[in-house]
Amino acid sequence: MCLGVPGRVIEVKGWIATVDFFGVQRQVSLQVVDEPVAPGDYVLNHVGFAIRRIPEDEIGETLALYEQLIELAERDDLMAEDVRGELAATKSGGGAE
């Protein structure tokens, strides 16, 4: 429950953002994040809520761990399992699943 998951914002409607997580679109709440969020931004998400907007120059470094974990998604691995749980905490978005 400590590990947030980063994703790229596709669309913002009120307090709900549609976010792309490694090719899967999901919806997260923007109630908690403390900066304005716009399409193209990256946000760090935790249990269905964006908790931080990730500055642009930090995106590459932030994504590295997760890209590897997502590749392990089918394996029996505790960290990958937690990342899957984090994604399941978001709502299915309107776009491609």
Partner 1 sequence: MNDAARSPLSFRDPARARRLLDALAHLCAGRESDPLALMHVCGSHEQAIARFGLRDVLPKGLDLFMGPGCPVCVTDAPEIDEAVRLARAGIRVTTYGDMLRVPGSDVSLAELGGEGAPVEVVYSVAQAVELARTSDEEWVFFSTGFETTAVATAAVLLDDPPANFSVLSAHKYIPPAMEIVLEMPGSRVEGFLAAGHAATITGWGVFEPFVARHGRPVVVAGFEPLDILAGLVELARLARAGEARVVNAFPRCVTREGNRRAQDQLWRVFERVGGRWRGIARVPNGNLRLRPEWSAWDARRRHASVLSGRVARAALPARAPCRCGEIMAGLARPTDCALFGRECQPHQPVGACMVSSEGTCRIWHQYGGRPDLGDAE
Sites of contact with partner 1 (CB under 8 A): 1-4, 15, 29, 31-34, 44, 46-49, 51-52, 54-55, 58, 61-62, 64-65, 68-69, 72, 75-82, 85-86, 88-91
In angstroms, what is the minimal distance from the CB of 21 to partner 1?
13
In angstroms, what is the minimal distance from the CB of 39 to partner 1?
21
How far is CA 68 from each of CA 42, 50, 72, 90, rounded to the nearest angstrom?
18, 21, 7, 20
In angstroms, what is the minimal distance from the CB of 13 to partner 1?
15
97: helix, strand or coil: coil
